[in-house]
A and B are shown apart, each in its own frame.
Chain A
């Protein structure tokens, strides 16, 4: 009788749900309605002034990430119907991919939080070059993963001053929850697979 890993099947299904929703972002950042970052391992777009300005290589990096999840769906499914030692490797493959991609996505909000938050003053000299005589942050509250914030800037440009108030909104979409569920199920499925293999 074939031993089935139900957690592996559930993991495979959640991974398939993620792969099917290829175009849906996991996390979104809106900068004052002027620029919008939509992020998932399968698609990254940074829309500014109506154009996606992400470098072309990003489209192919994300294509690779999507193909890896598709492969994970198939390998997890196959591995879940076996109690042979090699099945553990199949589930490990999927686990490493979903965990890696989830961590990559979560690292971007963290990086942006650091750049726009604590590191902003250190980066100001690099940002305020090219014609901007001076730029000063007068108020700043940056959301980490989800929430609303505000950046107030005082800019001197060509001898004239301007005060900018930029609202910032970060949003984690339901797909991020599915990805976390998929990662959790992949961990559980991999642990359960070890028990299945040991029993046989």
Chain B
């Protein structure tokens, strides 16, 4: 008799909460049994180019570009952009001009946004290509105006990111950085 009572107690303690829960969820069996994955929302981080700053000295063989990016973390985890390295190509001719990388790692807390800087620099051969193919010289009054106009293609970009404790290494699709630089040089004499 006592065994029967204990067996009944087991059944009641097991079944009663299940029935109670079933009614708590309005008798919707599929909602009751399904993992609550609809509560997951995953918005990938966004990267937006906010500005370029070029330092061009063609005579000195110097062609450097700083790209400022605004990175927004919309994931519910901390993100660390550890490294980003890439090749810099001439978008028109497909010639490799130089390379670039992320200036320093960027750490973004949940919902935070930070500025990240990419430094691009051209090799002497790259500068030579820019001078011969994308630079024009015009005389405007007492000055010579040097205009550099080209699109740099960022290619073969290797990104290393840490999302919480998970390391992700991936490649990014190519994108272009427009460069328009105009400089008046006094002719002197």
Contacts and interface: CB of A to CB of B under 8 A. Distances in A.
A51 to B, nearest CB: 4
Given A61-B18, A166-B166, 4 more contacts: A34-B163, A60-B21, A64-B17, A167-B166
A51 B17 contact: no
A160 interface: yes
B93 interface: no
30 contacts: A32-B163, A32-B164, A32-B166, A33-B164, A33-B165, A46-B35, A49-B41, A49-B75, A49-B77, A53-B39, A55-B36, A56-B21, A56-B24, A57-B32, A57-B33, A61-B18, A63-B17, A64-B16, A64-B17, A67-B13, A67-B17, A68-B14, A71-B9, A93-B6, A93-B10, A162-B169, A162-B170, A163-B169, A163-B170, A167-B165
B6 to A, nearest CB: 5
B187 interface: no
B62 to A, nearest CB: 34
Given A32-B166, A90-B6, A161 B36 contact: no
Interface of A: 32-34, 46, 48-57, 59-61, 63-64, 67-68, 71, 75, 86, 89-90, 92-93, 97, 160-167
B76 interface: yes
